[in-house]
Amino acid sequence: MDEFSFINKYLKPLAVNFQGSLNLSDDAAVFSPPPGCELVITKDAITEGVHFLGSESPSLIAAKALRVNLSDLASMGATPLCYFMALVLPRTTSEQWLKKFAAGLGATQAEFSIALAGGDTTANDGKLSISITAIGTVPQGTALKRSGARTGDDIYVSGTLGDSAIGLELLTSSPSPFQGEGRGDGSNFINRYLTPQPRIELGIKLRTVANACMDISDGLAQDLSHICTASNVGATIYTDKLPTTNIQKALTGGDDYELLFTASPEKKSQIEELSKSLQLPLTRIGEITAGNNIKILDSSGTEIKLSKKGFKHF
Amino acid sequence: MDEFSFINKYLKPLAVNFQGSLNLSDDAAVFSPPPGCELVITKDAITEGVHFLGSESPSLIAAKALRVNLSDLASMGATPLCYFMALVLPRTTSEQWLKKFAAGLGATQAEFSIALAGGDTTANDGKLSISITAIGTVPQGTALKRSGARTGDDIYVSGTLGDSAIGLELLTSSPSPFQGEGRGDGSNFINRYLTPQPRIELGIKLRTVANACMDISDGLAQDLSHICTASNVGATIYTDKLPTTNIQKALTGGDDYELLFTASPEKKSQIEELSKSLQLPLTRIGEITAGNNIKILDSSGTEIKLSKKGFKHF
């Protein structure tokens, strides 16, 4: 199947609901943000052997590529608008594979009300990589940033941490060959790795609640340090408060795609209500401190040191 | 060198001039188009073994990645604003390579007044690929499209065609190993392959002159068919009018990155003046016809048939 057939047969149907895509028939997309809104733009690539194994079903790979980018939009409080995709395919890619891949994009698009706006497809002798540029909007001036944390803020995380890292371990250590879908014992953990859940709704609600926000993709310890650096503050984290079954993986595992945010203590009841209405745990795990140190305290109050802060890509 | 050191040392300096980049310190960039303007967004990936050889100097590879995307902006008549980049690096990439790569981006940014706004860097066991999303702006409603060609329009191309395909042939057929820069005989052709010239200024001027426009990246014959399909028209091309030293390569070679545009015959003198003021040949090579056929006529008026329409990526 050549590039143009792939675009016509499988990609154009993904673009019909977004007028700015010009039906994928031009060199570029053309559009404006809605009045009073700014654009939020993120670009994450996922590549075989790093962010996915390559043996997953193509629809799961497509979904993950889109979901990790949507998670970046969620972390800024943005409402998803559209996305661009550049595919670098192994030359051996079959039409069957492409069809399933496009189906995975379609299902994820529908879930998050987003459409394809443009992109590029090419093939080489290397491994599969998928680069997505996701575009969202926020009312002018309301984007959540890493730099807004203030001394005395409570630190929260959504959902649970470390599950995805456990899932990856299950997938790669299993004696039986990986079958493409999580089944049997550990399937919850495996699904967390395969299909991250971008916290779009939470991000939108946090625009008026959080002082700083980001998504956790490289492990809590690593990502919290980004907020502290950007905000010029420190932090204290209590391991016995972490919503996890594995403290080490919560601190240093990757691929959680939960939101990490800080908020003034007076927002506590608002955050509790938000947690109820979204049916999503929002757990207070520590507080922002003066200075630049991040302290991680165990249940006895003893500071623990990490040998490995988080996942670094190269 | 790890991802964060690379970002801090080499990428952040490329982002300082674009406020919306948030200094590459957040999950996404945040910005709005200037008042009265729309955004033009394109995404092209270039990958080792397809769009470049891999043996070029890293700064040339960086420049080409940015230039092919700027060419897409040119084809829509857009003024460049910023870009996002996802790099998938071989694990063996050295800091020296990264430094030169960043230098190539920096030089190209300066030439086209564009800045880095965000992106992602990862590494795997495969080949180098670079995905760029370039963003430009046009005054509302003025973007040039493929779909505007009308029966009776003249068809023009900028510059010369086929040079890049000759350059690639010289680079890959030479008995001596490729040295990274075009030198000696054929260096003009080789430079056309290595360093395409996005026709930004021309694109901006064509907003009020051309009816349809695109850039030629897959060969004239292939790309003209896109304009004809989008505009529901046919075309006649005269090979003896093509600005080229090699008709076959002009018709089916790749990587020209010249602009192909159509304009009403009454714009002829305006286009001649534009050619003079930009010191860039703008050559009338044929005309748009009713129907859907593309006829390519040789100097005797005989129709020629192409065995291979252009470059298809997979």
Instruction: Determine the average pLDDT of the residues in B173-197.
Output: 72
Distances, alpha carbon A41 to alpha carbons B30, B105, B147, in Å? 6, 20, 28
Instruction: Give residues with Cβ within 8 angstroms of A173, minimum separation 6.
Output: none
Contact at CB, A28 and B76, closer than 8 angstroms: yes
Distances, alpha carbon A234 to alpha carbons A153, A215, A283, B170, in Å? 11, 18, 19, 58
Here the ipTM equals: 0.88
Closest CA to A130 of A196, A71, A191, A69: A69
- Give SS3 for B92: coil
DSSP H/E element including B294: strand B294-297
Per-residue DSSP letter, A177:
P
Residue of B26, B101, B257 to mutate, testing the A interface (most A Cβ within 10 Å of its Cβ):
B26
Burial bucket for residue B196 (CB in 10 Å: 0-12, 13-18, 19+): buried
Which residues, in sequence order, are bridge partners of residue A284? A156
Cβ of B200 under 8 Å from any chain A Cβ?
no
Residues of chain A neighbouring B40 (CB-CB closer than 8 A): 28-30
Contact at CB, A28 and B40, closer than 8 angstroms: yes
Which residues, in sequence order, are bridge partners of residue B283? B157
Cβ of A29 under 8 Å from any chain B Cβ?
yes
* Nearest-CA distance A146 → chain B (Å): 6
* Nearest-CA distance B137 → chain A (Å): 9
Residue range(s) of every CATH 3.30.1330.10 domain in chain A = 3-139
For residue B178, name the pLDDT band (cuts at 50, 70, 90). very low
Give residue A180's pLDDT. 47
Burial A114-134, CB ≥16 within 10 A → b, else e:
bbbbbbbbbbbebbbbbbbbb
Distance CA B82, CA B295 (A): 39
Instruction: Determine the average pLDDT of the residues in B3-17.
Output: 91
Give residue B127's pLDDT. 86
Q: List alpha helices for chain B, DSSP H.
A: 3-6, 12-15, 58-75, 95-112, 163-173, 187-194, 200-206, 220-231, 247-252, 268-278
Give residue A27's pLDDT. 87
Residues of chain A neighbouring B119 (CB-CB closer than 8 A): 43
Q: Residue B48 is nearest to which of A38, A124, A314, comparing CB atoms? A: A124
Q: List alpha helices for chain A, DSSP H.
A: 3-6, 58-75, 95-112, 163-173, 187-194, 200-206, 220-231, 247-252, 268-278
Per-residue DSSP letter, A115:
E
Contact at CB, B32 and A47, closer than 8 angstroms: no
Give residue A184's pLDDT. 55
Q: How do beta strands B115-124 and B79-90 pair?
A: parallel
Cβ of A131 under 8 Å from any chain B Cβ?
yes
Locate tokens 């409080």: which residue? A77
Superfamily in which the A146-297 domain is placed by CATH = PurM-like C-terminal domain (3.90.650.10)
Q: For the ranges A49-58, A284-293, B30-39, B145-154, which has the lowest average pLDDT?
A: A49-58
Q: What is the mean pLDDT of chain B?
A: 91
CB B90 within 8 A of CB B123: yes
* Nearest-CA distance B178 → chain A (Å): 20
Distances, alpha carbon B86 to alpha carbons A79, B9, B123, in Å? 22, 17, 11
In A143-162, the residues whose Cβ lies within 8 Å of chain B are 143, 145-147
Q: Which two tokens stand for residue A249?
A: 């993986």
Tens of pLDDT, residues A34-62:
999 999 999 999 888 888 888 889 999 99
Residues of chain A neighbouring B65 (CB-CB closer than 8 A): none
Cβ of B73 under 8 Å from any chain A Cβ?
yes
Which residue positions in chain A have pLDDT lower than 70? 174-185, 307-314
Q: Alpha carbon A226 to chain centroid distance?
A: 16
Residues of chain A neighbouring B69 (CB-CB closer than 8 A): none
- Give SS3 for B103: helix
* Nearest-CA distance B227 → chain A (Å): 9
Give residue B20's pLDDT. 93
Cβ of B27 under 8 Å from any chain A Cβ?
yes
Contact at CB, A32 and B33, closer than 8 angstroms: yes
Residue range(s) of every CATH 3.90.650.10 domain in chain B = 146-297
Q: For the ranges A59-63, A255-259, B2-6, B79-83, which has the lowest average pLDDT?
A: B2-6
Cβ of A53 under 8 Å from any chain B Cβ?
no
For residue B181, name the pLDDT band (cuts at 50, 70, 90). very low
Give residue B312's pLDDT. 54
Give residue A174's pLDDT. 58
In B75-114, the residues whose Cβ lies within 8 Å of chain A are 75-76, 78, 84-89, 91, 93
For residue B175, name the pLDDT band (cuts at 50, 70, 90). low
* Nearest-CA distance B73 → chain A (Å): 7
Per-residue DSSP letter, A305:
-
Which residues, in sequence order, are bridge partners of residue B238? B297
Whether B309 has a pLDDT exceeding 70, the answer reads no
Cβ of A215 under 8 Å from any chain B Cβ?
yes
Cβ of B24 under 8 Å from any chain A Cβ?
no
Nearest chain A residue (CA) to B37: A32
Residues of chain A neighbouring B49 (CB-CB closer than 8 A): 124-126
Distance CA A216, CA A202 (A): 14
Distance CA A63, CA A109 (A): 9
For residue B180, name the pLDDT band (cuts at 50, 70, 90). very low
Give residue A310's pLDDT. 55
Q: Alpha carbon A200 to chain centroid distance?
A: 10
Tens of pLDDT, residues A284-298:
999 999 999 999 999
Residue, of B218 and A158, whose pLDDT is higher: A158
Closest CA to A78 of A112, A28, A46: A112
Contact at CB, B230 and A127, closer than 8 angstroms: no
For residue B224, name the pLDDT band (cuts at 50, 70, 90). very high
* Nearest-CA distance A261 → chain B (Å): 13
Spell out the CATH class of A3-139. Answer: alpha beta
Give residue A186's pLDDT. 86
Give residue A308's pLDDT. 58
* Nearest-CA distance A126 → chain B (Å): 5
* Nearest-CA distance B113 → chain A (Å): 19
